[in-house]
A and B are shown apart, each in its own frame.
Chain A
Amino acid sequence: MAQPTLTPASSTPTNILPSSTLASTAFIFSYPFGIYSSDGPLETQYFASGAADQVAFTYKRLGGDVLDIELTEGNVFAAYEEAVLEYSYIINLHQAKNALSNVLGSATASFDHNGNPFAGDAQNTQAELKFPKFKLSYPMRVGAGLAQYAGTNGDVRYYSGSFAPTASQADYDLQEVISSSFPDLITDNQRATITKVWYKSALTMWRFFAYYGALNVIGNLSNYGQYSDDSTFEVVPTWQNKAQAMAYEDSVYTRVSHYSFELIDNRLRLFPPPESGWMPDKFWFQFYVETGAYDEDSTRKDGMTGVNNMNTLPFNNIAYTNINSIGKQWIRRYALAITKEMLGQVRGKFGGSVPIPGDTVSLNSADLLGQASAEKDALKTELGTILNELTYVELAKKDAELVKTTEDVFSKVPMPIFQG
């Protein structure tokens, strides 16, 4: 049914949605954000084609060939842009869930008013389109912190200091030693933590006679035993070899040490107190200085200024040409819902009732607003539900389930009897 023409035409400016429009019109239209249109950072002609098609779709879908739709094509263009951006937002949220744990500490960027990265190491990464490597970023961060407290390095710098013992003196002020040796190291009441104390004997050597005090093992602890007095040797794995070496070192360094120590406040107490006649020239200690959670070592980058949460992920708006047919259909439906909302707002300004000669006419603004709200919610819920089922974690679970199910199936398959 063709829309009846108003004859004579109204001389008053009217806002009636046309039945169709050209992509060239959609291309030059001034969009609220202009992200995908002419001169936009993600400009593409295909966006204009999609926006133009949306006008025809809206016109038919809302019955524009029967009654007027009091909107302009510009309203539909703007709705289309908003729908694309909403889709991009939801997809990027989804991808943030997938990727964040792997990219914590990675390079980030500075973002312009559209959210597009324009500066920084990650400005051109197009991270929103990439499949990240599995990096265990946060567990590694935790591990580094734990390693510090476990005394296995971690992410702090270790220092060593020394002092010359005095005969018959058991207590030594390490705070004083550190302050005199490293006058600028400790500031702002930072705490120094002592991790190891040791001394060197005058003729320290690798013990030739190992545990048993006899020449029964000889070698470099890697291919040892070749010169022993036995004739059969067990081939052992490397980890066992290493564990044995560690036990050996532990024995040499600790069990046979002459001194032990105790830390009391800033003081190191040696036991027994060094005695004149024989004592080490120096006692050494290893320590690190506690740093704040946001103090980064000036000599190296450890990701402190990189991605820290979803907000600093270097995600751009998804390029229009990187949205597939699934996304495009969602965008059409969501843009239509937005258009209904716009139309409902227009028709509802007067409470949904417009005065006409002798009467008032009730417009369907309430219906339109209700439909728009419900449709928008339903579309977002639908997309969110699907995406939640497709996170990397869920995909791994599905893979595991598939493997298990396949095994169950195969377990029911009768084995053929072999006849030799």
Chain B
Amino acid sequence: MPDPKDKWEQPAAPPGPVFFNKKERDFVKQVTDEVVDRVVAQPVAYYPLNIEHSNYHPLYGEAIEKTFLPPLRVHALVTFEGIKTETSEFGVDKIATINVKFHKRRLGEDQDLFVREGDFVLYGDIFYEITELNEPKQLFGQIDFRYEIEATCIRARKGKFDAT
């Protein structure tokens, strides 16, 4: 009979990551908080859509008049991507875009904020609408730990959103 200590038993659950675990993930958050909030410190005012108080159309689910919650100041890494001129059948239009990279854990865990398309941000003194979101990276390749939300934002027209 083989020695019991030599008997292999399948564990109930696979072991966790060996090299990158909670301590490492928390360390990355700590450093990222410091860099984003205190070193780079680019503040944007985030205007979340108030779903409860917006007047949605009962059939189509659209709201012509939207209501927003009071803004939150968040820090993010913002890249100004310029102002492009577009010419169409309606004439010449100028479109300003920015790319905002949010720290997902900071927003979700500390500020109770979730980034969604259709929300607005104030960067400088211009309002932008979030038109596209992407979560391109996993932390240490772990599927459950994405740490970045990349938002593509287009300058909002005055008639569409004006919180001034």
Contact surface of A with B, Cβ cutoff 8 Å: 4, 6, 8-16, 67-68, 70, 346, 349-350, 354-359, 361, 363
Please, which residues of chain B bring their CB within 8 A of the CB of A12?
26, 29-30, 105, 109-110
Contact surface of B with A, Cβ cutoff 8 Å: 24, 26-39, 76-77, 79, 101-106, 109-111, 137, 139, 147-150
Nearest chain-A residue to B24 (Cβ)?
A: A349
Checking A8, A16, A346, A359 against B111 with a beta-carbon cut-off of 8 angstroms, the contacting residue is A8
Checking A4, A346, A357 against B101 with a beta-carbon cut-off of 8 angstroms, the contacting residue is A357
Extra inter-chain contacts (12) besides given A68-B31, A357-B77, CB under 8 Å: A6-B37, A9-B110, A10-B30, A10-B33, A10-B106, A15-B27, A15-B30, A349-B24, A350-B24, A354-B28, A357-B149, A358-B79
Checking A10, A13, A346, A349 against B110 with a beta-carbon cut-off of 8 angstroms, the contacting residue is A10
Give 29 A-B contacts (CB < 8 Å), ordered by A residue. Answer: A6-B33, A8-B110, A9-B110, A10-B29, A10-B33, A11-B109, A11-B110, A12-B26, A12-B29, A13-B26, A14-B30, A15-B30, A16-B30, A67-B39, A68-B31, A70-B27, A350-B28, A354-B28, A354-B31, A355-B32, A355-B139, A356-B35, A357-B77, A357-B101, A357-B149, A358-B77, A358-B101, A358-B148, A359-B77
Checking A6, A8, A9, A361 against B31 with a beta-carbon cut-off of 8 angstroms, the contacting residue is A361
Please, which residues of chain B bring their CB within 8 A of the CB of A68?
30-31, 34
Pairwise interchain contact B38-A4, C-beta atoms closer than 8 A: yes
Pairwise interchain contact B148-A357, C-beta atoms closer than 8 A: yes
Please, which residues of chain B bring their CB within 8 A of the CB of A4?
37-38
Please, which residues of chain A bring their CB within 8 A of the CB of B26?
12-14
Nearest chain-B residue to A8 (Cβ)?
A: B110
Give Cα distance in the complex from A363 to B27, angstroms.
12
Please, which residues of chain A bring their CB within 8 A of the CB of B28?
350, 354-355
Give Cα distance in the complex from A281 to B28, angstroms.
101
Give Cα distance in the complex from A70 to B29, angstroms.
12
Give Cα distance in the complex from A266 to B66, angstroms.
122
